[in-house]
Amino acid sequence: MNSKVKILLRITEGLLAVSAIWIIYNDVNAYPDYSMSRTARLKDAYFVTGKKGASYIIRHDHHKFLAECRASLSWVDGTDKPGAPQTDGDCTYMDMTVGKSIGNDMMRHEDNSLVFVPWVGHDTVQTADFLTILQDIPDDPQHDFGE
């Protein structure tokens, strides 16, 4: 094998090694699709894997939730005052999240509810979609919602 071929092989091996390191680094430090936080990581995110009627299938922390939209509220006069309903029985922003991940800074689990706050960190009218958890099952292939 001539020296030019050896050099090209070594360059290719080096590029492959750098690519592998880059992929592993990005997988571990990946960010959610929706997040305002620099510390939110994909491993802690909520994954909206599908929609079934008015309900969403959301995976988080070894759980699979079937959650139904309850309401969407906005705080036109500031978050220190009660929120005003935007919708009743429907969510304003959840449809855009299907197939995406949401950082734990924009979604939270409260008792039997999930709350999606899409404008957190923005200087604008704050809104939130409220979902009621209908079912909470272990996130494994033996349990599904007929996805």
The DSSP secondary structure of 25-79, one letter per residue, reads HHHHT---SB---SS--GGG-EEEEEEETTEEEEEETTEEEEEEEEEEEEETT-T
Q: Does residue 35 belong to any structural domain of this protein?
A: no
Residues 59 and 130 in one domain: yes
Q: Does residue 7 belong to any structural domain of this protein?
A: yes
Residues 7 and 51 in one domain: no
Owning domain of residue 26: 1-30
Residues 23 and 92 in one domain: no
Residues 76 and 26 in one domain: no
Q: What is the pLDDT of residues 88-116, one digit of tens each?
A: 778 889 999 999 999 999 999 999 999 99
Q: What is the pLDDT of residues 24-53, one digit of tens each?
A: 555 555 888 888 777 888 888 999 999 988
Residues 13 and 72 in one domain: no
> What 3-state DSSP class applies to 85?
strand
| Per-residue model confidence (pLDDT) at position 89 | 74
| Per-residue model confidence (pLDDT) at position 98 | 94
b/e 73-100 (16+ beta carbons within 10 angstroms → b) = bbbeeeeeeebeebeeeebbbbeebeee
Residues 63 and 134 in one domain: yes
Q: Does residue 145 belong to any structural domain of this protein?
A: no
The enclosing H or E element of 119 equals none
Q: Does residue 18 belong to any structural domain of this protein?
A: yes
Residues 20 and 86 in one domain: no
pLDDT at 54 over 80: yes
Residues 1 and 61 in one domain: no
pLDDT at 76 over 80: yes
Residue 30 identity (one-letter amino acid) = A
pTM: 0.72
Residues 88 and 24 in one domain: no
